[in-house]
Amino acid sequence: MQNSELSQTYKEYLLILKECSPYDFSEYSDNSIDRRIQKIRHDYHLSMPDLIQKTKSDPEFVEQVVEAITVNTTELFRDPKVWNQLRQKVLPTFKNHPKINIWHAGCSTGQEVYSLIILLDDLNLLDKAAIYATDISQKALEHAKRGSYRFSFNYEKYLTNFQGAFEQSDTPDIKKYFNINESKDTISIKPQFLGRVKYIKHDLVKEELPFYNKFDLIFCRNVLIYFNGALQTKIVQRFHDNLFPGGNMVLGSHETLNGFFKTKFAKNGPVYARTNSFHLKY
């Protein structure tokens, strides 16, 4: 089957998935959606007709499909230079704020959320912070709420990232924030930091925002790359509208804004500060 025919087949499948669930992936990038549906078919040993039939008849399988389509790679202090920049240049600007509103959009299993909590605590800003974290996946949110991850899978990488987020001379002991149990193969955020976040199931593409706050800081890292251009524009517009003037948006290292938005945000690496107020009709 030619690539164009394959892409069309997957688009037809997405229409069926939309009919059988509350989810609409029709504006996701063709390449990313095709790869993920191919993987689902491979993992479950399903032909396309079998995939369609199972989607129509098995609501539990539909949730598994959604989990597979929306899964995002994440880790504690991923891209440590970004976190170091936040610690050095962005977060200190909030010191005189009576409250800091923060939204993690597409928070996945929570490693990014806890990375920020650690920086806020280190800068004595955590008690000022109101932190919201949203994701389309209930399974990912439940994992995030537990704040427990495999020790053996990524500890050395986590430790390297953690150290890279701080200056060499003032890196705190990682055990201040995590309980490490090698026999149980877990590294878990300490209980006093677990209750600092309000986790909410939310479809960034389809649903209205589940809160009325304006934000000082919005994270949406490695999510936009899965959307087509029109949907990226719509989501960035939403972030702009929900940032305070001068508020910051943090994107993934491979994500950029199109030309229209370049005058609406001042870019400093992966951090974008909102400038003028405007609203785009689309």
Superfamily name with CATH number, domain 80-274: Vaccinia Virus protein VP39 (3.40.50.150)
What's residue 63's pLDDT? 85
By mean pLDDT, which of 22-26, 166-170, 233-237, 266-270 is the weakest?
166-170
pLDDT digits (tens, 9 = 90+) for 56-70: 999 889 888 888 887
Distance in angstroms (rounded) separating the CA atoms of residues 276 and 256: 19
Q: Most confidently modeled of 116-120, 168-172, 204-208? A: 116-120
Distance in angstroms (rounded) separating the CA atoms of residues 57 and 72: 27
Distance in angstroms (rounded) separating the CA atoms of residues 227 and 9: 18
Distance in angstroms (rounded) separating the CA atoms of residues 42 and 40: 5
Confidence of residue 44 (pLDDT cuts 50, 70, 90): very high
Question: At residue 260, does pLDDT exceed 80?
Answer: no
CA atoms within 13 A on the CB side of 245: 4
Q: Higher confidence at residue 254 or residue 16?
A: 16
pLDDT digits (tens, 9 = 90+) for 89-121: 999 999 999 999 999 999 999 999 999 999 999
Distance in angstroms (rounded) separating the CA atoms of residues 107 and 58: 27
Contact between 87 and 165 under an 8 Å Cβ cutoff? The reply is: yes
Q: Show me where the domains of the chain are located.
A: 3-70, 80-274
Distance in angstroms (rounded) separating the CA atoms of residues 155 and 132: 26
Q: Higher confidence at residue 82 or residue 5?
A: 82
DSSP 128: G
Query: Considering the entire predicted model, what is its pTM?
Result: 0.84
What's residue 276's pLDDT? 63
Q: Higher confidence at residue 149 or residue 260?
A: 149
Q: Tell which residue, 220, 222, 193, has the closest CA to residue 119.
A: 193
Distance in angstroms (rounded) separating the CA atoms of residues 125 and 266: 24
